[in-house]
Structure 1
Amino acid sequence: MTSQVSSPKTVLITGASRGIGLLTAKSLLTKGYHVFAGMRAPETRNQKAASELQELANTNRSKLTILDLDVASDESVERAVAIALSYGQLDALVNNAGVMPVGITEAFTMTQIKDLFEVNVYGVARTARAVLPAMRQNGSGIIINLSSAAGRLSLPFFGIYCSSKWAMESYVETLNIELEGSGVEAVIVQPSAHRTDLVATSPAPNDTDRATAYGTMSEGGDRMLGMFQSAFDQNADINDAQNVADAIQRLIEQDGPRPVRTVVGEDMGVDGINQAVAPFQNGLIDELKTVYAPA
């Protein structure tokens, strides 16, 4: 059994049935955390993941609560968070649930775009709103939000995905500014390409007529996904998704203040963008504090 932390925390993870969410849940369970693993259909479609987590929790004598959680539903989020809070203080929320559509931007229908934002943006807002009152009342807590290198970049064929991450990052950073002094933080993790099933499950655009109007350009999304998969097949350590789970755990265990953004994996210039923007962002906020901050 892996050595456990002396003061295990309580952590709610969305999208815990696969990828980084599942890895994070497993890592925290081996350390003795009480993990609230949020996933859709834990008794049917995701029963295997739920069983794996329960077996790991039993082995490590950790607490695990499986939550039937759909971040696209107000009712589901409110119900799941209420269950988590019924156990006592919630120390951390990990907003991991996300979708990555890839293809010609124009060819994604409005329904697809709305569905994407429902998860990648509104889902983050739903869960944050659900946990923040209790965290503010306790005077402590951290909300860790999984973005992407795409949250700072504009990439061909990733147009609606990038835009959802840009929107989410602005929402989270603003939350963090407004939470200053409350003991609660909202931060962003920006992974680059890591080995998960996100590439294999990437939705394609539904408007095939508009896609084919771009000629051979319409095949670019698949070629880019193939490039990522080829890189993953090399099994390089830098693409190991466990690195992201480890970064999340470090943020949970770190004493504040934490960095607003944490880059994991290949830099892709994102850290440079973060560092370049920060002085302007921070300078503007310092000026605005003379207007909005309490005297």
Structure 2
Amino acid sequence: MSNLKTVLITGASRGIGLLAAKALAERGHYVYASMRDIKGRNKSAAEELQIWAGENKLSLEPIELDVTDDQSVNTAISKIEAQRPLDVLVNNAGAMPTGLTEAYTLEQAQQNFDVNMFGIMRTSRAALPHMRGRKSGLLISLSSAAGRFAMPFFGLYCASKWAMEAYCEALHYELEPFGIESVIIEPSGHGTDLVKTSPAPADKKCVEAYGPMAGGRESLLGMFQDMFDLGDPGTDANNVATKIVELVEATSARPIRTQVGHDMGVSAVNDAVAPIQAELIKGLKPVYMGETTDA
């Protein structure tokens, strides 16, 4: 196909990141599948990807990148830019803490934001100077249905996703003059390993103080896993990978937000907020686009 892109995906050792990396490579795009500790715990994942790409004669390259480390991010972006212009950054890396909100320590909250929020800031700030120089580029950031509402035992996760949505949407408006788009994907529950790797709250004494509610974490995670085990097509993680491909290959303006999977009321929230947000931006646009005139 024509108009092939160079794409960097964070958190591509498994889950949606891995599926998206493969899907994009199969479409002919040049894909950098980033992951932490590529010579250690993710060595086998990187090697398997390289073998798969070689056997299928596809352009896919695993690359070391830890979204929580400034130097790691800057080194990866510099390496890519030295080889070819980066067209698309897919901010996929993330963690899903599940449990009583009060029982997460401040250190845990900072660690989660370091991945879900500040990780996106690091990669975006490293990639955007190059994109602005070329006046083209695309940022696709993976949020969640939890980025549009709050629910028990998801307080920390929702907070990080709300924060990253605000950041990514602000970028959407500010990058418009440079021909760059910043868009958000809001998946509902999909069958990845986020359930199995979900960080639990560390303050055990606080958890115990909640009595029967202390079992909420296990109940919620169990509910998700039961839903995934049913094999419902709406929870297939390939749905998200497919949507990422569609956004990368879109030939017209992309929506700021794209919901994937079971709606859970997210579209209704987006539809209700959109006209209010549009009116606000309409009033601010002359200011942030530098169109103000002296009275």
Q: How would you bin the TM-score normalised by the shorter chain?
A: over 0.9
Deviation at 1:121, TM superposition (A): 0.3
**SS of 1:142 mapped into structure 2:** strand
CA contact (8 A) 1:29 1:60 kept: no
- What corresponds to 2:173 in structure 1? 177
Per the TM alignment, residue 288 of structure 1 is displaced from its structure 2 partner at its CA by: 1.5
Match of 1:90 in 2: 86
Corresponding position of 1:36: 32
1:149 aligns with 2:150: no
Segments of 5+ residues of structure 1 without an aligned counterpart are: none
Once the two structures are TM-superposed, the CA of residue 60 in structure 1 deviates from its matched residue by: 2.7
Q: Is the 8 A contact 1:38 1:68 kept in 2?
A: yes
- The answer to whether the 8 Å contact 1:195/1:232 transfers is yes
Superposition misfits of 4+ residues, deviation over 4 angstroms = none
Whole-Å separation in 2 of the counterparts to 1:293 and 1:168: 23
CA distance in 1, matches of 2:92, 2:288: 32
On the 8 A contact 1:120/1:168 being kept in 2, the answer is yes
CA distance in 2, matches of 1:24, 1:284: 34
What's the CA shift string for 1:110-141, capped at 9, x where partnerless? 10000000000000000000000111111111
User: How far is 1:20 from its partner?
Assistant: 0.3
Partners in 2 of 1:257 and 1:150 — Cα distance?
25
Equivalence for 1:212: 208
Cα separation, partners in 2 of 1:140 and 1:291, compared to 1, 3 Å: closer
Match of 1:269 in 2: 265
1:228 corresponds to:
224
Query: Displacement of 1:196 after TM fit?
Result: 0.2
Amino acid of the structure 2 residue aligned with 1:268: M
1:134 aligns with 2:130: yes
Task: Give the aligned residue type for 2:167.
Answer: Y
Superposition RMSD in Å:
1.0
Alignment counterpart, residue 24 of structure 1, candidates 20, 24, 32: 20
1:55 aligns with 2:51: yes
The structural deviation recorded for 1:52 is 2.2
1:67 Cα shift?
1.2
* Residue 292 of structure 1: how far off its partner (Å): 3.7
Partner amino acid for 2:195?
Answer: V
Aligned to 1:45: 41
> 2:169 aligns to what SS in structure 1?
helix
Moved more, 262-271 or 285-294: 285-294
**d(CA) in 2 for partners of 1:61, 1:139:** 31
Deviates more, 1:133-142 or 1:239-248: 133-142
1:63 offset after TM fit, Å? 2.0
Match of 1:102 in 2: 98
2:177 is paired with a residue of what secondary structure?
coil
**Match 2:246 to one of 231, 246, 250:** 250
Contact 1:57 1:63 in 2 (8 A): yes
In structure 2, distance between residues paired with 1:8 and 1:48:
28
Residues 293, 183 of structure 1: CA spacing in aligned structure 2 closer, same or farther, 3 A cutoff? closer
Q: What is the percent sequence identity of the aligned residues?
A: 54
